[in-house]
Amino acid sequence: MKFLSWNVNGFRALQRKMDVYQWMLENDADALCIQETKLQQGQIYFDTPGYYQYWNDAVRKGYSGTAIFTKRKPLSVTYGMGIEEHDQEGRLITLEYENFYLLTVYTPNAKRQAGFDTAPVSA
């Protein structure tokens, strides 16, 4: 199977630049996992004959969000991780198949935090 993953930094902008569905076909993708969709599913029309679509939108419009387009129907689909604070941002989708799990995850920027030493460690 061929899985592709792409942080698109805005799905609508990507669609204006290229035909994403055609690109999936040309690359023989069994599944495409995307991160940072920055939209709600109803804000775009994206037809993918032969693929199932799973979207996890952020509550806040224009922010984060993930999606998976897959040829194989999963046994189950889980959105988020069960932590309400984090699940508001649409950062995780898990598809369960008989022999594996397919996840798309959009992680927040791990900015430097006060009190942590970020100097390189010498060997």
Domains of the chain, each with CATH number or no CATH: 3-105 (3.60.10.10)
N- to C-terminal Cα separation, the chain: 40
In the prediction, which pLDDT does 117 show?
Answer: 54
Phi-psi region of 89 (alpha: psi -120 to 50; beta: other; left: phi over 0): alpha
Sheet holding 76-79, edge to edge: 76-79, 92-96, 101-105
Taking Cα atoms as reference points, which of 11, 37, 40, 41 lies closest to residue 23? 11
In the prediction, which pLDDT does 112 show?
Answer: 63
pTM: 0.86
In the prediction, which pLDDT does 84 show?
Answer: 86
**pLDDT tens string 85-112:** 888 888 899 999 999 999 999 987 766 6
In the prediction, which pLDDT does 100 show?
Answer: 97
Question: What is the DSSP-derived secondary structure letter of residue 89?
Answer: T
In the prediction, which pLDDT does 120 show?
Answer: 55
**pLDDT tens string 23-53:** 999 999 999 999 999 998 888 899 999 999 9
In the prediction, which pLDDT does 118 show?
Answer: 55
Give me the sign of the Cα torsion angle 89, 107, 67, 39: positive
H or E element, residue 56: strand 52-56
Averaged pLDDT for residues 56-83 = 93
The phi and psi torsions of 6 (rounded to 5 degrees) equal: -150, 125
